[in-house]
Structure 1
């Protein structure tokens, strides 16, 4: 892209001022409209060192109400961020509906920097590129406007700017050793940048190369693109995104009606003996997980009153409390609802060596949100592939992903609901919503069957826990967790 790029002709100084005044007024007007249209805008500024990324952002945001934007300078990842998936720190930054986030450098700088330092190459580079494509496409499919600017200057201009910065005591700190290396190896860097931009130039999130030799001209180019892109995004706000074909290998799952629940029970004596032995083993494995820096994600879905809470309690009873966290997932808070639906799960991922347990999960998109009309049909149909992509990202990171569906029959649920209703100590566990959901059992069963079929991948398979006898389900869950962790640690 950089090799073939031909800069546009710069307007006369007077004409440039007129156009800038027009664009500044227009952007302020549009900023109010994107809140009305609920369009989230993510603007990424990449480019050469000293190309003016920060100063251009500063000029653009002067035309926006400060309540509706955030600027983040994405420096090198912290030690904490390095213990999370690559995309974690960028997903954290995505804006709410009707707001802007401006990133001063981001995933391009991180990836190309690692390539230039020979820390990333071959299959690992390709894997990162695929992650970026999915990330950007998922954002745009879910209504985000993603704008990617590359601030381009010639080698001689960069050299001049770096020298000017270094001559001033107050600005010399801004020039890093790598900035100087970049200028000395300009041709090599340009080749890496060019390849990256070609690899990530998506129809829904294209690259815009900004001629940054003249600072006002750079501002005008950015403003023009920002304004025209926002106008198009508002026009397309209600357009449905394509539902993509799943590309991951799926493993056949039985329907819930085919799951045998009878004779899945265990005596109290056997339960106590096995529980003690399995919890001891899981505790040992938790120490090895921490030492080997392997993250574990355990998710629970299932019928109301199926026994998820008691099951989780027996898992956590074996773990060091410093090395796990349980996330009870309820309806999204307003700030969560106004972002990509996976955002609140990305931000709850464990550090490597730690365990995250989710009591309800991202699968709410294809169950409760589907059946209660909290999202469109296009949204939930598109979500199967998005969830598989999310879990593939976690698997590629090195996470052990264990997904449980806790299964009971309608009669067992009724008996447990009635017990809760009649027992003052358990009444807090039963709500009117539980009874309403029970009336939709058949519809939920159809949705769950489809969910299991379409998201039972080889890297994140489902496990059904037969829980008419809760003791049986607890022991089975412990055995599965231990087995999956042992497999993951085998080659470590």
Structure 2
């Protein structure tokens, strides 16, 4: 496709000025419209080295209010970014509603420059493309407008521009031996770009090829594309806001709940252990975790431990016993409350991406992203389309973490209604624990059956080989704590064993 693109297109200075003056006020107004309508926008620039991305980005933003956008140059990873999944640094930079994020090079570096580095070629595969498409799909489904530009120039023009930069003392720093090596590999990159278009061009995040040999033509095409895309986005948003109410759906048959598959119904909550056995086993396991914690740090294995469960199910107690002998510099406990205004302005997974651990560290979540399919589903904070879509989104997110080598364990601490009521009453009777009980806890209890259905759906749809749910029989706090610790010990030992085998193979 790229070889057939007509690169001779150009505009005179006069034509450029006329079109720029025509487009500038329109683009300025569209930025204000996007802010007013809470439409987040991502504009990503990719293309050949020497394509003058910086110059063309600068021409685009002249029409924009600088308070409403941010430009990110993502050519080189920081040390912190290298210690996270590759999409982490882009998730954390996704814009809030009504704002724009402009990327000078983007997540596509993973399948472009990186994949053609000889020492890294074996590391990149289909999963990278799958993760990229999932990333864009999730953002688009949440309302983000994604515009992707590819700045195209010929090999001859690229060589000319690289030479000009290399011979100028003021710009020589921009050119390295790697730049010339990539120029010599122009045809190899051409093949990779064609594959990239084929695999990632979609209706929700399309590619726009920009003939970039003439700077004036390229600048006008970029502005025109942004204006056209944002005009449609604003029109669509206004249409959806003013659309007539949909007619009520006809009643449909609903299967009796007793016929549906249930996980929780089969949990044996009578399991328990005596206090002396508990103390002995707790000490043994905590000492093991202390050692394993050091080893996963040395091997740079990241760990995510996610805790969910009924109110008063014992999450806090389990987390406390888990961390008592761990080095506090190597783990973080992340309590998850209702999202604040900043978090609400982003994709619902954004706040969790910001908390995921770097290599060798542990993140422990006290409540998690699964609130989307529990409290948000039941209380109506998420639409049916949103929470139904969330099962795949969360599975995809966890798969991306797993591809980075992250150990993921998800615990559901299960108790029965009688045990919950007893614990609620104990808290109310104890002045030191009254802070733990709220009116919301009682309201949630009244919806026990609804939550039970939601939890069963969650366990069935999101327990995977790479991020399993562990249902913990938690009527007995002693038994629950030991099961959690035993599960963590086993998972860390297995991860270390797999890493040792991998290291051994790599030395052969």
TM-score range, shorter chain: over 0.9
- What is aligned with 2:433? 426
Equivalent position of 1:248 in the other structure = none
1:247 match: none
Within the candidate set 420, 432, 454, 1:413 is matched to 420
Q: Within the alignment, does 1:357 sit opposite 2:364 as a pair? A: yes
1:157 maps onto 2:160 in alignment: no
Matched, 1:68 2:76: no
Q: Contact 2:302–2:360 (CA<8 Å) still a contact in 1?
A: yes
2:266 paired residue among 241, 248, 258: 258
2:291 to 284, 287, 290: 284
Shift of 1:239: 6.5
Cα deviations by residue, 1:252-293 (Å, 9 ceiling, x for unpaired):
98422321212x111111110000011111111112211221
Q: How far did 1:91 drift? A: 1.1
Tell me, yes or no, if the aligned pair for 1:3 and 1:194 is still in contact at 8 Å: no
Residues paired across the two proteins, number: 480
Q: Identify the residue that residue 94 of structure 1 maps to in structure 2.
A: 94
1:344 Cα deviation from its structure 2 partner: 0.9
- Alignment check: 8 A CA contact 2:71 2:103 kept: yes
- Which 5+ residue runs of structure 2 have no aligned equivalent? 242-259, 500-508
> 1-side partners of 2:458 and 2:470: how far apart?
13
Alpha-carbon distance in 2 for matches of 1:385, 1:185: 38
Q: Is the 8 A contact 1:336 1:343 kept in 2?
A: yes
Report the counterpart of residue 321 of structure 2 in structure 1: 314
Q: How much has 1:79 moved relative to structure 2?
A: 1.9
Q: CA deviation at 1:370?
A: 1.0
| 307-316 vs 369-378, greater mean Cα deviation | 369-378
Q: Secondary structure of 2:113's partner?
A: helix
Please give the alpha-carbon distance, in whole angstroms, between the structure 1 residues aligned to 2:319 and 2:128: 34
Q: Are 2:13 and 2:216, in contact at CA under 8 Å, matched by a contact in 1?
A: no
CA distance in 2, matches of 1:98, 1:119: 41
Distance in 1, matches of 2:292 and 2:31, equals 52
Q: Which residue of 1 aligns with 2:275?
A: 268
Alignment of 1:25 with 2:28, yes or no, is no
Stretch moving more, 134-143 or 117-126: 117-126
Q: Is the 8 A contact 2:313 2:474 kept in 1?
A: yes
Q: Kindly indicate whether the alpha-carbon contact (under 8 Å) linking 1:290 and 1:354 is maintained by their aligned counterparts in 2.
A: yes
**Aligned-residue offset at 1:389:** 0.7
Structure 1 residues without counterparts, runs of 5 or longer: 241-251
SS in 2 for 1:3: helix
Pairwise CA RMSD: 1.9
Match of 2:49 in 1: 49
2:180 maps to which residue? 180
Larger deviation: 463-472 or 112-121?
112-121
Distance in 1 (CA, whole Å) between partners of 2:419 and 2:302 is 35
Kindly state the Cα deviation for residue 416 of structure 1 after the two structures are TM-superposed. 1.4
What's 2:476 paired with?
469
Residue of structure 2 equivalent to 1:444: 451
- Corresponding position of 1:210: 210
Equivalent in 462, 466, 469 of residue 459 of structure 1: 466
How far is 1:176 from its partner?
2.7
Q: TM-score under structure 2 normalisation?
A: 0.91
